[in-house]
Structure 1
Amino acid sequence: MEQRVRVHRVRLGGSEVRVVRSAPGPGATGLALRDDGHWLSMYADREGADRLAALWALAARSSRSLVHLPLRNGPAPRDGAGGGEPVALDLVLLHHSLRFPTSSWKEVRARLGAGTPHTVSLPDDDLPDPDAVDHERRHHRTYRDRLGFDVAAHTLFVVGSSTAFREEGAALRDFAGRAAAHRRRYPASPHFCVELFPGPRGRGRTRRHVPGSLHIEYRDDRERTA
């Protein structure tokens, strides 16, 4: 998995914040993220699904960086779910050990500047196969490697440990690898998706009233709006 990124360093108080920002190039519109009120909805084409999985794998490795995907301008399908007007969001992936205050993100984002271009190469199997994840561990009371969600400054923050990103990323790897083939094989039933949850499943909203699920749906180029 190879991704073009830009690395930014911003002084915040007495510390430095390192932001790794996705830089897929002009015309890349393969991802969109919306807060539909009841849940969070992401739409991905084949290129977008691959990019999301790659940057998710990068986040699992990058315990000292915020991985930023600027998605607010990504076109979303007109038939997206939700009863009200969806709110467009960016995405930031970060480790809880950073203790980054999400309320500071607006200030950090405004000061990112041009950054320094980099190309990041990750092994194709950097995220595990779903069959390699011990899902039974998640039912133990002592299990702590869960993702957390927060929303600030029109940005969804997904927060977790390296283990949480890798284990949840297994589903993203499977989604990216199977989505296009599923659509070709089952054209009469085209819906193909994956869902990620903060904390234990079944919570309608988090303590900060953020929707309690992220629904990622595959959409090809013909189904995106302009």
Structure 2
Amino acid sequence: MEQRVRVHRVGLNGREIRVVRSAPGPDATGLALRDDGHWLSMYADREGADRLAALWALAARSPRSLVHLPLRGDPAPHDGAGDGEPVALDLVLLHHSLQFPTSSWKEVRARLGAGTPRTVSLPDDDLPDGDAVDHERRHHRTYRDHLGFDIAAHTLFVVGSSTAFREEGSALRNFADRAAAHRRRYPAAAHFCVELSPGPRGRGRTRRHVPGSLHIEYRDAW
């Protein structure tokens, strides 16, 4: 998996914040993220699903970086589930060990500048197959490698450990690998999707009133 990115370094309160920003080029297709009120809705075509899985794998490998997908300006389907107008969001993936204050993101984002272009290469199997993940142990009370969600400055933050990103990423890998073929094989099916939740189990909203489910749906086009 190869991804074009830009690497930015921003000073904040005496520390350096390293941001790896997705830069797929002008012809990139299909990723959008919305807060629909009831849940978080993401839409991906084949290229978008592959890009999301690759950057998710990069986040698992990058405990000292914020991985940023600037998605707010990208169009999305007009059939969200919320009662009002869906709110467009960016996406940031980061490790909890950074202890990054999400309230500082607006300032950091405003100071990113042009950054340094790079191409990142990742193994195709960097995210594990679902069969390689011990899903049962994730329900044990002592298990701590869960994802967390937060929203600030029109950005969804997905926070976790390397283990959390890799294990939850197995579902994304399966989604990216199977989505297009599933749509061709079952054209009458309502949709093909994957759902990620913060904490040990899904819930309506987190303690900071962030929707407790990220629903990622495959769309050929919109």
Q: Contact conserved, 1:182 with 1:190, CA < 8 A, in 2?
A: no
2:139 and 2:127 map into 1 onto residues whose CA distance is 21
Q: Contact conserved, 2:34 with 2:42, CA < 8 A, in 1?
A: yes
Residue 114 (structure 1) shift: 0.2
Would you identify which runs of 4 or more consecutive aligned residues in structure 1 move more than 4 Å?
Answer: none
2:190 and 2:131 map into 1 onto residues whose CA distance is 24
1:212 and 1:2 map into 2 onto residues whose CA distance is 31
Residue 139 (structure 1) shift: 1.4
Deviations 1:12-68 (A, max 9, x none): 010000000000001323100000001000000000000000000000000000000
1:212 and 1:167 map into 2 onto residues whose CA distance is 18
Q: Contact conserved, 1:8 with 1:19, CA < 8 A, in 2?
A: yes
Compared CA separation, residues 225 and 103, structure 1 to 2 (3 A)? farther
2:29 and 2:209 map into 1 onto residues whose CA distance is 29
Task: Give RMSD over aligned pairs.
Answer: 1.3
Deviations 1:44-93 (A, max 9, x none): 00000000000000000000000000000111111222211100000000
Structural mapping, 1:157-176, within 5 Å: 157-176=157-176
Structure 1, unpaired ranges of 5+: 219-223
Q: Secondary structure at the match of 1:103?
A: helix
1:132 and 1:114 map into 2 onto residues whose CA distance is 39
2:40 and 2:99 map into 1 onto residues whose CA distance is 23
Residue 162 (structure 1) shift: 0.1
1:198 and 1:83 map into 2 onto residues whose CA distance is 23
Residue 120 (structure 1) shift: 0.2
Determine what percentage of the aligned residue pairs are the same residue. Answer: 90
Q: Secondary structure at the match of 1:10?
A: strand
Residue 225 (structure 1) shift: 11
Compared CA separation, residues 179 and 225, structure 1 to 2 (3 A)? closer
Question: For this pair of structures, how many residues does the alignment match?
Answer: 221
2:124 and 2:190 map into 1 onto residues whose CA distance is 26
Q: Secondary structure at the match of 2:159?
A: strand
Compared CA separation, residues 105 and 144, structure 1 to 2 (3 A)? same
1:27 and 1:201 map into 2 onto residues whose CA distance is 37
Structure 2, unpaired ranges of 5+: none
Q: Contact conserved, 2:46 with 2:220, CA < 8 A, in 1?
A: no
| TM-score in terms of structure 1 length | 0.96
Residue 124 (structure 1) shift: 0.1
Which position in structure 1 is the counterpart of 2:189? 189
